Structure 1
């Protein structure tokens, strides 16, 4: 890590923490940076909800847990709040769908408030890390699906920037690696999703959210989807799709991150 990157880490720690936690996480973050440079070993950390996550030396996502207690705090706390709001006596289980899971950090953050979690991560290397994090928390690794969600079924090409890069995404050329794609509507039929269960959704697919939504028309309109927290770079097109599905309440959470609910 160069001086510029280290400076960005220190800025992140200072901006994401309050009061004495600034000092606490400056110490933890710097110690983690020294440790991973010298040893390059994987360590585990117990996070805010009592669950565990592996901190990989070459993974920005897991490293965030050495810099603050809850990365993406507003998004994660909002998802947890929706998961806890089960006021429907006739409703079934609360299920979290982590679409674009990377190593599963959002899934881990939701494990104590949901009855079931399904994570979608198409990159084979990153998917393996996600499965390991599920096993670390005594969850079945088969809940991690090495699939891309799209608006069609077949194979697509995925970028390969190494490690567990947060910017790996579906590409239109034949560069990168080939992964299998399925529509969300087909997946829910194949896996017998119940319409009376409650579904909480997170989508982080680096610009491919429009295709994910188009492939889930039946799911988003006919199933009990409580909330969708999503990253979005094409607001007009994505917002229009969501509104046709009945998600008329769209709130901005942070830069490029939004929450959609039905009114």
Structure 2
């Protein structure tokens, strides 16, 4: 059971839970942006009480077991019948070719990891929230994508343990930055202790000597994940592409964008939430 009381099923085969009919209509209605943000939130709360999930559905040819009552990405897939962050996927597409090594930090339920593996990449999907990592593992198995390895651990600038904060209506929005849980993002947050490992250490443990494409989406902790690794990396081994979430960058202790520019990265694409940087070999 999740904090919202939603039963998690990672054992029944894909297809057990239908995703059509009234449930699909209700989530599509709750996702309509013609409504004000406040009305949309109230509608989502109402829909969550009745149609929280699970539902089995396909999006862009990939299989997912969805729990829209407790995760933003699940809601988007349920409502729109496609992967969230389509613009980001389009930006990354040219970098994700057969043989690419893709490391996805903050993998959530796997939309990026699954897409990369389907394109022929070898994938390390890192997800610190154990509940979300379980959902991710189910989706990997449902798609029979053995190219993906899951690491249920947090990534940071030093080894140890930290408190991972999560909010029951969006398990994919988990953070190691306690300050983020107040103000704009205030909600019913709770924390759990998680193991933290530096990225270089984690990669070595998985036998990864080089990363081609790196995605970092960790809600305001991106600098402590990314910068120690890049600054210690030999120039010839720097990733050729880095997709970094920027919508919580006011919580960074260091400016990732300036460091990336100093290492020779240039902006290849930008959305409201993310920026893609590329570097010539």
State whether structure 2 residue 156 is matched by structure 1 residue 150.
yes
TM-score (ref. length: structure 2): 0.71
Cα distance change on mapping 1:95 and 1:112 into 2, 3 Å: same
The corresponding residue for 2:62 is 51
TM-score (norm 1): 0.75
Matches within 5 A, 1:31-70: 38=50, 40-48=52-60, 50-58=61-69, 59-68=71-80, 69-70=82-83
Query: Secondary structure in 2 aligned to 1:67?
Result: helix
1:79 pairs with 2:92: yes
Q: Which residue of 2 aligns with 1:185?
A: 200
1:172–1:71: structure 2 CA closer, same or farther, 3 Å change rule? closer
Q: Is the 8 A contact 2:96 2:121 kept in 1?
A: no
Distance 1:176 1:118 in 2: 25
Paired residue for 1:241, among 234, 259, 265? 259
> d(CA) in 2 for partners of 1:57 and 1:8?
11
Change (3 A) 1:209 1:39: closer
- The corresponding residue for 2:191 is 176
Q: 1:229 to 1:122 in 2, by over 3 A?
A: same
Cα deviation, residue 222, structure 1: 4.0
2:182 corresponding residue in structure 1: none
For structure 2, list consecutive stretches of 5 or more residues without a partner in the other structure: 1-26, 36-42, 180-189
Residue 245 of structure 2 corresponds to 231
- The DSSP-based 3-state class of the residue aligned with 2:264 is coil
**Residue aligned with 1:143, SS:** strand
Q: What is the number of equivalent residue pairs in this alignment?
A: 228
Q: Deviations over 1:2-56 (max 9, x none)?
A: xxx987611189xxxxxxxxxxxxxxxx9xx97x7546442222221x2211121
- Per-residue CA distance 1:141-162 (angstroms, 9 max, x = gap): 9811111111111111110312
| Number of the residue aligned with 1:11 | 33
SS of residue paired to 2:204: helix
Report the counterpart of residue 259 of structure 1 in structure 2.
Answer: 276
Match of 1:213 among 218, 226, 233: 226
1:149–1:184 CA contact under 8 A, matched in 2: yes
Deviation per residue, 1:97-117 (Å, 9 max, x gap): 111111212212222113311
Structure 1: stretches of 5+ with no match in the other structure: 14-29, 87-92
CA distance in 2, matches of 1:145, 1:132: 14
**What is the root-mean-square deviation of aligned Cα atoms in Å?**
3.1
CA–CA distance in structure 1, aligned partners of residues 162 and 34 of structure 2: 34
Contact 1:103 1:164 in 2 (8 A): no
Query: For 1:49-85, what per-residue CA distance to the aligned partner results, in whole angstroms no more than 9, with x for missing partners?
Result: x22111213222112112332321110111122113x
